[in-house]
């Protein structure tokens, strides 16, 4: 039987994949329960097609490195652990490869808010580049999130990972997931701006 936190993650993975907010290549979601963190496993997209079960999730203490030795630990999970260690109020971390955000990640473009629903995120910027799956990337993500604590409290703070995707941190899992879709829609609006307005 999946507990509340596991159910949240499983449902979110399916939803993100269905809505093209992440892909088969990757993404990684986690939720914090006190000193414990539940996290999607490696190959959540490629092997599981985001059809996760409670047994497939990786669980451990966010303050320790033990869960990183689990064979199913996603190496993208380092960023999550570093976020929990540096921002004690964060309860949820969502890393994804959203369809409409990917061009902004690819070309180094910030995402300026053009919808009322995204004003609260401010201009979403890139962190310093580092190869995927490295602990260096985790440090760069934390550095880029510094100073965005007010956004985490409001809904979520977001950072674009160069050539890769996006990562969000928030105090509430559902609100953080909601932020992901808002930002993806905002990215779509930016993408079609020229074709609509000339
Ligand atoms: Zn990724």
**How much is the pLDDT for 67?**
97
Q: How many domains does the chain have?
A: 1
pLDDT at residue 133 greater than cutoff 90: no
- Domain holding 12: CATH number? 3.40.225.10
**How much is the pLDDT for 5?**
97
State the residue range of the domain holding 129. 4-197
**Three-class SS state of 30:** strand
CA distance 70 to 59: 9
Q: pTM of the prediction? A: 0.97
Distance 126 CA to ligand 1 centre (A): 14
CA distance 88 to 186: 28
Q: pLDDT-based confidence at 84, cuts 50/70/90?
A: very high
Contact 180, 186 (CB under 8 A): no
**How much is the pLDDT for 100?**
98
**How much is the pLDDT for 49?**
97
**How much is the pLDDT for 1?**
81
Distance 173 CA to ligand 1 centre (A): 19
Distance 132 CA to ligand 1 centre (A): 7
Distance 25 CA to ligand 1 centre (A): 7
Distance 88 CA to ligand 1 centre (A): 23
Distance 76 CA to ligand 1 centre (A): 6
CA distance 178 to 183: 9
Contact 63, 35 (CB under 8 A): yes
CA distance 16 to 173: 13
> 140-196: per-residue pLDDT in tens?
999 999 999 999 999 999 999 999 999 999 999 999 999 999 999 999 999 999 999
Distance 74 CA to ligand 1 centre (A): 10
Distance 165 CA to ligand 1 centre (A): 6
**How much is the pLDDT for 50?**
98
Distance 27 CA to ligand 1 centre (A): 5
Distance 22 CA to ligand 1 centre (A): 9
């Amino acid at each position: 039987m999946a507990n509340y936190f596991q159910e949240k993650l499983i449902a979110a993975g399916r939803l993100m994949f269905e809505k093209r907010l992440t892909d088969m290549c990757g993404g990684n979601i986690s939720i914090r329960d006190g000193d414990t963190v539940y996290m999607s496993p490696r190959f959540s997209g490629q092997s599981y097609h985001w059809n996760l079960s409670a047994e497939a999730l990786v669980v451990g203490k966010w303050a320790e490195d033990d869960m990183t030795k689990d064979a199913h630990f996603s190496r993208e999970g380092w960023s999550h652990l570093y976020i929990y260690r540096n921002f004690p109020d964060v309860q949820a971390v969502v890393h994804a490869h959203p369809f409409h955000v990917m061009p902004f990640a690819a070309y180094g473009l910030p995402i300026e808010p053009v919808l009322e629903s995204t004003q609260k995120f401010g201009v979403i910027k890139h962190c310093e580049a580092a190869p995927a799956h490295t602990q260096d990337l985790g440090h760069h993500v934390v550095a880029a999130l510094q100073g965005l604590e007010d956004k985490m409290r409001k809904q979520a703070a977001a950072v674009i990972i160069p050539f890769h995707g996006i990562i969000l941190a928030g105090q509430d899992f559902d609100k953080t997931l909601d932020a992901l879709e808002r930002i993806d829609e905002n990215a779509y609006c930016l993408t079609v701006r020229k074709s609509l307005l000339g």
